[in-house]
A and B are shown apart, each in its own frame.
Chain A
Amino acid sequence: MSWSATEIMTLAGKAARGAGAPPAQAARFGQVVVVHLTAARDVAVLSAALEALPEGPILAYPLVLDQALSDAGQGLPAALPGLEQDALLVSFVEALPFQASLQATGTDGLRLRVDLATPRPHGVPRRITGCDGLIAQMTELADRTYVPDSDSSRRVGAGARLTDND
Chain B
Amino acid sequence: MKDGVDIPLVPLRTPDTVMRLARMGAMFPTRLSFLRTLMRALAADKVEVKCTVWQIDAAGFGHAVYQLRFGGYDYALVAVSTDLPADQRTDRVIATAWDTAYVLYDGVPDAAALARICATAPKQEAARFTEQDLVLSRANKSVRLFAHVVERLRAGHQPDENLVRQTGYLMRTTAVYGNGKFGIADRAVFKDRPGLGGPFMAEMLTVWLIRHFTHDLVEHVGGRPLTRALKRHLGIGNSTGLGMAPFLVNHPVLLNNWMMARETALARVRGQRQINRAQAERLAALAARAAQHLEEWQVPDPDHQKRIDRLRAAWRAAAPLFRAEAFAKGGAIAALFDGSARQSVDLQELLCALVLEPFGDLVDDLADTMSDPFGPQVVPFPDTQTLKQEIEHHALWALSPAYESRAASRQFWYVSAAKQEPRLGNRFDEAGADLESPLDIGRRIKALYADLPDAPEPLTAFLARHPDHMMAATRVAGLSRYPYGEIRDNLIAETCLPIDMLRCKLSFFGASKFDPKSDRWTRITLCQGAPLDDELGNRADDWWLPVFGQ
Contacts and interface: CB of A to CB of B under 8 A. Distances in A.
A3 B183 contact: yes
Contacts of A153: 416, 418, 423, 425, 430, 432
B142 A166 contact: yes
Nearest to A157: B423
B357 interface: no
Contacts of A67: 380, 458-460
Interface stretch (B184-192, B194-202, B222-230): B184-192
A74 interface: yes
A128 to B, nearest CB: 10
Interface stretch (B26-34, B48-56, B284-292, B468-476): B468-476
Contact of B415 (A124, A145, A163): A145
B188 A124 contact: yes
B541 interface: no
B422 interface: yes
A61 to B, nearest CB: 11
B86 A165 contact: yes
Given A5-B180, A63-B464, A64-B460, A158 B414 contact: no
A153 B140 CA distance: 24
Chain A interface extent, by class: 35 or more
Contacts of B438: 23
B432 A97 contact: no
A66 B380 contact: yes
A158 B434 CA distance: 18
A27 to B, nearest CB: 8
Contact of A163 (B89, B182, B459, B467): B89
A149 B381 CA distance: 41
Contact of A146 (B89, B416, B459, B474): B416
Nearest to B439: A23
A5 B521 contact: no
A67 B379 CA distance: 9
B346 to A, nearest CB: 22
A164 B416 contact: no
Contacts of A5: 180, 186, 188
B5 interface: no
B399 to A, nearest CB: 20
B425 A166 contact: no
A30 to B, nearest CB: 11
Contacts, number: 180
B424 interface: yes
B430 A24 contact: no
B188 A154 contact: no
Interface string B437-473: 0100000000000000000001110011001101101
Interface stretch (A84-92, A115-123, A130-138): A115-123
A152 interface: yes
Contacts of B408: none
A60 to B, nearest CB: 8
A143 interface: yes
B35 to A, nearest CB: 23
A119 B380 contact: no
Contacts of B422: 158
Contacts of A7: 180-183
Contact of A161 (B90, B131, B415, B463): B90
B143 A165 contact: yes
Given A5-B180, A154-B418, A160 B186 contact: no
Interface residues of B, number: 74
A123 B187 CA distance: 11
A149 B133 CA distance: 31
B180 A22 contact: no
B431 A22 contact: no
B380 A69 contact: yes
Contacts of B376: 97
Contacts of B140: 164
Contacts of B420: 146
B180 A160 contact: no
A4 B179 CA distance: 8
Nearest to B143: A165
Given A6-B179, A98-B377, A159-B517, A147 B421 contact: no
B71 interface: no
Contacts of A70: 379-382, 459-460
B520 interface: yes
Interface in B124-142: 128, 130-131, 140, 142
B393 interface: no
A127 B498 CA distance: 35
A75 B203 CA distance: 43
Interface string A14-54: 00000000111100000000000000000000000000000
A74 B131 CA distance: 42
A63 B511 CA distance: 42
Contacts of A149: 416-418
A24 B471 contact: yes
Contact of B94 (A66, A146, A154): A154
Nearest to A147: B432
B93 interface: yes
Contacts of B402: none
A145 B518 CA distance: 26
A118 B382 CA distance: 20
Nearest to A148: B417
A97 B189 contact: no
Interface of A: 1-7, 22-25, 59, 62-64, 66-67, 69-74, 97-98, 116, 119-120, 122-125, 127, 143-150, 152-154, 157-166
10 contacts: A7-B182, A22-B467, A22-B471, A25-B470, A119-B373, A123-B188, A146-B416, A146-B417, A147-B435, A160-B92
Interface of B: 86-94, 128, 130-131, 140, 142-144, 167, 179-189, 239, 241-242, 373-382, 414-418, 420-425, 430-432, 435, 438, 458-460, 463-464, 467-468, 470-471, 473-474, 498, 517-521
The 3 lowest CB-CB distance pairs between A and B, nearest first, are A6-B180, A157-B423, A4-B180
